Amino acid sequence: MTFSTSVICGFLGGTIFSVEGGYRVLQHPRPDRVFERIADARWFLAVNWCDRCPSPAGILTHDGTLSFENQATQVVGETEFLPLEERSNVFRTGLTAKPGKPAIYTIRKFSDRHNHQIKIMPLEIDPRYGKIALVQALNLDPLPERSPF
């Protein structure tokens, strides 16, 4: 008698399930796409989560790199959204968050007195590389497109 183990789990609003040869993501635009590792399926859903955010959002790594940023981040600017000098503090703040509850960090800008808050959700997508943090601006909207005239 053979027993097979099947996996189905929710992750960032998506669903991952095991199939022969790997894992599929229910929300993937190509339903036949099979990821070899569950970490790859999780990474797809993390990027998808950022893409769906209307405000600036991205994936912050332990070394302060935004390994992915959504379109809204590109509009306001990566360093306007998440200044380089604040990134290590943002990441460390995220590590203190309780499971399932995001941490909040305030970016203080003294030059123009405009502060904004960042929601931080720590995740472990691939245990080989450690935690990452999903970061999203709570009150920093993309600038409206300006006419060149």
Q: Please answer whether residues 43 and 61 qualify as being in contact, where contact means their C-beta atoms are separated by less than 8 angstroms.
A: no
The per-residue pLDDT string of the chain (149 residues; one tens digit each, 9 = 90 and over) reads 454 568 888 888 889 999 999 999 988 889 889 999 999 999 999 999 999 999 999 999 999 999 999 999 999 999 989 999 999 999 999 999 887 889 999 988 766 556 789 999 999 888 888 899 999 999 775 544 433 33
Q: What is the pTM of this model?
A: 0.83
How much is the pLDDT for 144?
45
Contacts of 118 (CB under 8 A, 6+ apart): 82, 90, 104, 105, 106, 107, 135, 136, 137, 138
Q: Which residue in 63, 69, 43 sits closest to 118, CA to CA?
A: 69
Name the DSSP letter for residue 28. Answer: -
| Residue 118: HSE in the Cβ half-sphere, 13 Å Cα cutoff | 30
